[in-house]
Amino acid sequence: MLDIRDIRERPQEVLARLRRRDPGTDLARVLSLDEERRGLIRQVEALRRERKAGSEEVARLQREGHREEAQARISVLKTLSDRLKSLEERLSQVETELEEELLRLPNIPHDSVPTGTKEEKVLLRSWGEPRKFDFPPRHHVELAKRLGLLDFERAAKIAGARFPMYTGLGARIELALIHWMFELHVREHGYTPVLPPILANPTSFLVCGQLPKFADDLYFCPEDELYLNPTAESLLANLHRDEILTEEALPLRYVAYTPCFRREAGSYGEEQRGLIRVHQFNKVELFHFTTPDRSYQDLEELVGHAERVLQALGLHYRVMLLPSGDLAQQSAKTIDLEVWLPGQGRYYEVSSCSNCEAYQARRGNIRFRPAEGGKPEFVHTLNGSGVATSRLFAAILERNQRPDGSVALPPLLAELVGVEVLT
């Protein structure tokens, strides 16, 4: 959530920066509601003071035996109280409407984020080279079926289309990847491990930024008022909700494993095939709580931690800076890692690393007390995939395939599962 004081004090600047994301953004209603709210607060406070003084005056008159005067004053206070009640009801309504408007506003893009649409992302660097094949590379669906690693048909029988089911060595590889990535971030990068609930209440999703705007993308259990986790960011963002941390304790870095569930409405074509865009997938998520002065340094470190996974598996990837028009609601800056899938001849995002600055912390009232003293400040939160396994699994199969349809596993993965070649 944005700070209403910033909007009030610098409306044109905030509007110009938000319009880098969406040229149609308008702050007129926010500013109008804020002005009405402040006017109502002044009126309510004045009437409360008047009511208090009047009540004290009635008590004095009654003590002194001036009953008629006291009764007349009580009649005046009754009218005043009715007026006060009406203003308080309107104030409550305006505050609710203002909060709803603020919750709909996205984060302000960082100055380093280029203005543009999804197609205008910027290449920062790449690692490795696409493998050159002397045969037509197969799609991972064909490879997985041939090798008995995935069974989409039986998964569809159980749950419906676009739910994967890993079988045989496929299941072992999937679990090995999850465990290895989890341990990598704990042991090498110093993250605190967490296995959170995979269901969360509406407040948790409001804090992370999924609600209210993206309710239709979530799986919801209405009887219990709980949402299925679309990404562990939604859960980890709430670890320190309504807490005041010490600056000395920061940064706090957490790694979590969860299955993730997404409706993925609106995706189409090749992206619906195989593991590219599914309703359920596994992910190792990285999350930071840090101070504003070091959050962009932390973003670079976070990206590096995700890159370590792809490098260890020998996968060619590129690092892309997302433009303003492609940022998630809560993000001020996002850097994506995109891995090359030769079976499709294109890159797919496997990790998205974002600095949300104080956007989530303001929603969740997550603050820290500066070491030198002073008023508590909002922390900055960062998140990144470290990484999601579905596209990673697809990339491993497609990059390491051989002419006969077998797959030579990367040495690290071969050691984890005790098999060098999938045949």
In this prediction, residues 19-37 reach a mean pLDDT of: 97
pLDDT in tens, 343-401: 999 999 999 999 999 999 999 999 999 999 999 999 999 999 999 999 999 999 999 99
In this prediction, residues 118-146 reach a mean pLDDT of: 97
Residues recorded for the chain: 423
CATH of domain 4-104: 1.10.287
pLDDT of residue 268: 55
Q: Does residue 277 have an active-site annotation? A: yes
- With a pLDDT cut of 70, the percent of the chain lying above it is 98
Return residue ranges of the chain for CATH 1.10.287.
4-104
Nearest to 405 by CA among 132, 168, 136: 136
In this prediction, residues 410-419 reach a mean pLDDT of: 97
Catalytically annotated residue among 88, 349, 377, 406: 349
Q: Does residue 307 have an active-site annotation? A: no
140-147 vs 389-399: helix axis angle to the nearest 10? Answer: 80
Mapped onto helix, strand or coil, the DSSP state of residue 149 is coil
d(C-alpha 123, C-alpha 119), whole Å: 12
pLDDT exceeds cutoff 70 at 271: no
Model confidence at 68, in pLDDT bands (50, 70, 90)?
confident
Mapped onto helix, strand or coil, the DSSP state of residue 228 is strand
pLDDT exceeds cutoff 80 at 140: yes
Catalytically annotated residue among 262, 362, 367, 399: 262
In this prediction, residues 178-195 reach a mean pLDDT of: 98
Chain mean pLDDT for the chain: 96
Catalytically annotated residue among 352, 354, 385, 390: 352
Neighbours of 372 (CB within 10 A): 6
Q: Does residue 391 have an active-site annotation? A: yes
Nearest to 383 by CA among 400, 398, 361, 404: 361
Mapped onto helix, strand or coil, the DSSP state of residue 47 is helix
pLDDT exceeds cutoff 70 at 30: yes
d(C-alpha 290, C-alpha 296), whole Å: 10
pLDDT in tens, 150-159: 999 999 999 9
In this prediction, residues 90-107 reach a mean pLDDT of: 97
- With a pLDDT cut of 90, the percent of the chain lying above it is 93
Return residue ranges of the chain for CATH 3.30.930.10.
118-422
Query: Which is the CATH superfamily of the domain at 118-422?
Result: Bira Bifunctional Protein; Domain 2 (3.30.930.10)
pLDDT of residue 67: 87
Q: Does residue 29 have an active-site annotation? A: no
Strands (DSSP E) along 161-219, which ranges? 192-194, 199-200
Catalytically annotated residue among 233, 391, 398, 399: 391
Model confidence at 34, in pLDDT bands (50, 70, 90)?
very high
pLDDT of residue 273: 82
Model confidence at 404, in pLDDT bands (50, 70, 90)?
very high
Q: Does residue 17 have an active-site annotation? A: no
pLDDT of residue 269: 60
Catalytically annotated residue among 37, 277, 367, 399: 277
